[in-house]
A and B are shown apart, each in its own frame.
Chain A
Amino acid sequence: MPVVDLAMVPLRSLNADLHKLPQNTNETHWTIRNPGGKHALAVGLDAPVTVEIEGHVGYYCGGMNKEATIVVTGNAGVGVGENMMSGEIRIKGDASQAAGATGRGGLLVIEGDASARCGISMKGIDIVVKGSIGPMSAFMAQEGNLVVLGDAGEALGDSIYEARLFVRGAVRSLGADCVEKPMEAADRAALAGVIARAGLSDDVSPDEFKLYGSARTLYHFHVDNASAY
């Protein structure tokens, strides 16, 4: 199983090797050492392999991921899992801003905290944060589930279209058109499913969460506002 030391091997060559992997590759487990906060590590993967990164990564780690499982033992910089399509990314430490931004599918698990704009414009991804999330998270979210075991910062779900936001702790404030909603059976099932996939079924119960989502009042232009223009 390949072990790549980024103190010796250029990042571009590692990413190129990962891109070349066929669907049926036998090299299914990669270990990356000395990531040193480098940007765009393991982006654009398109094969069912596991990439384990030992240390802290920079911007956009695992961006556009398809099928691959990426585990980072340290922290992740801005935009981890940006626009991921499927597969799983797990960050053992904290994530910086815009974690899972515009993600379309797959599962992103952050075991520490995520800072501002977590899940911004999410479009189908499931994001689980074991710690807390920063301000302006799920801004303009469209689809998917954001599950937060800790607290949420200011303006959660501002201008949200759809998507379910489950928060166990306190929410500092809700953004425009984001409201608390009753949890229906389908919501609970979705939450339980995400919790199970993240491996947290023994740690938390869906009953501990509150659900936030779109009030749908911004979907259409309201004629009463015409005089404002």
Chain B
Amino acid sequence: MCGIVGLFIKAPELEQDLGRLLSAMLETMSDRGPDSAGFAIYGADKADLVKLTLSHSDPAALERVAGALDTHLGYPAERTIRSNHLIVSVRRADEERARAFATGAGLRVVGAGKRMEIFKEVGLPIQVAEQFGLAGMSGTHGIGHTRMATESAVTTNGAHPFSTGRDQCLVHNGSLSNHNSVRRELTREGLSFETENDSEVAAGYLTWRMREGASLREALEESLKALDGFYTFVVGTENGFAVLRDPVSCKPAVMAETRDYVAFGSEYRALAGLPGIESAHIFEPEPAKVYAWERA
């Protein structure tokens, strides 16, 4: 099964409520995915800095490595520790150095971007949301996933969202049948993958297309031909938010749009608590049709 949610804020005054609303949406989708949960939040950016989201099973290690990273870089990088995830803002030129140092110290790079932060963990979605303090986060858009593990073990690595490019992430409900061959092709194109997971391949495919110049919309349109299987994708980029369902519309999806936001849920229940939902335009995304929103 699995549940996915997404919220793209249009009205700036609602940005402070992003985390609170997304948290409630995730919690409602626990029935569809009680094993693990994850979410990405697009918050404020700082000029010339890149945020790295790093994780380690032992939170104490994060503090230690963050201190050593400062010494390594030669300046104190701004950092926030949320449970077993560390967000550290490094200068753009230092991204590769910082990544190498963190992985060398046993940390896992969950994602990187100017604005994106990603958190994922095993456990009930409500616990995961509380563990990272999602309800207190603000931002322009966010996506989330609740996983019911069917194909691979319940691990943090198997939790969504998957990020394969700067500020890019994807959540997926479904399963892909040709992910091994696509992964091989993408590896030849220079992409690297952390897991054997099919959803990571979908994220990688979009990253590759956008690296080659495609827009988010174009990349998704091309994925209709390249990816085989069942899927509903919700994708985030630095300024964009998009939804795509496979041509058979195998996995459920419902959307709501108001003047203030665009919301996605695997089921309407996830949207039922949103402000102004009574008068929202509610619709079911059509199969094989890309829905994309972009912030100016």
Given contacts A56-B282, A94-B284, A96-B254, contact A115 B249 (CB under 8 A): yes
Interface positions of A from 96 to 134, Cβ below 8 Å from B: 96-97, 115-116, 134
Q: How many residues of A contact B (CB 8 A)?
A: 19
Say yes or no: is A80 at the interface (Cβ < 8 Å to chain B).
no
Q: Using Cβ atoms and an 8 Å threshold, which residues of chain A touch B272?
A: 36-37, 56
Q: Are B249 and A58 in contact (CB under 8 A)?
A: no
Closest Cβ–Cβ distance, residue A211 to chain B (whole Å)? 26
- Map CB proximity to B onto A31-43 as digits: 1 under 8 Å, 0 otherwise: 0000011110000
Q: Are B268 and A77 in contact (CB under 8 A)?
A: yes
Interface positions of A from 14 to 54, Cβ below 8 Å from B: 36-39
Say yes or no: is A81 at the interface (Cβ < 8 Å to chain B).
no
Complex Cα gap A180–B249 (Å): 26
Q: Using Cβ atoms and an 8 Å threshold, which residues of chain B touch A77?
A: 252, 254, 267-268
Q: Using Cβ atoms and an 8 Å threshold, which residues of chain A touch B287?
A: 116, 134-135
Say yes or no: is A138 at the interface (Cβ < 8 Å to chain B).
no
Closest Cβ–Cβ distance, residue A80 to chain B (whole Å)? 12
Say yes or no: is A142 at the interface (Cβ < 8 Å to chain B).
no
Complex Cα gap A136–B246 (Å): 14
Q: Are B283 and A37 in contact (CB under 8 A)?
A: no
Q: Counting chain B CB atoms within 10 Å of each CB, which of A37, A38, A56, A59 scores highest?
A: A37
- Contacts across chains A and B counted by CB atoms under 8 Å: 45
Q: A96 — nearest CB in chain B belongs to which residue?
A: B284
Given contacts A56-B282, A75-B282, contact A116 B268 (CB under 8 A): no
Q: Are A58 and B267 in contact (CB under 8 A)?
A: yes
- Map CB proximity to A onto B248-286 as digits: 1 under 8 Å, 0 otherwise: 110010100000000000011101100000000011101
Q: Using Cβ atoms and an 8 Å threshold, which residues of chain B touch A58?
A: 267-269
Interface positions of B from 77 to 134, Cβ below 8 Å from A: none
Q: Are B269 and A37 in contact (CB under 8 A)?
A: yes
Instruction: Give the residue of A93, A96, A134, A135 whose beta carbon is less than 8 angstroms from that of B252.
Output: A96
Q: A77 — nearest CB in chain B belongs to which residue?
A: B268
Complex Cα gap A181–B287 (Å): 29
Q: Using Cβ atoms and an 8 Å threshold, which residues of chain A touch B283?
A: 94
Closest Cβ–Cβ distance, residue B33 to chain A (whole Å)? 16
Q: Using Cβ atoms and an 8 Å threshold, which residues of chain A touch B249?
A: 97, 115-116, 134-135
Question: Can you sample 22 A-B contacts with CB below 8 Å?
Answer: A38-B269, A56-B272, A56-B282, A58-B267, A58-B269, A59-B267, A77-B267, A77-B268, A93-B282, A94-B283, A94-B284, A96-B252, A96-B254, A97-B249, A97-B284, A115-B284, A115-B286, A116-B248, A116-B287, A134-B249, A135-B287, A136-B248
> What is the interface of chain A, defined by CB distance below 8 A to chain B?
36-39, 56, 58-59, 75, 77-78, 93-94, 96-97, 115-116, 134-136
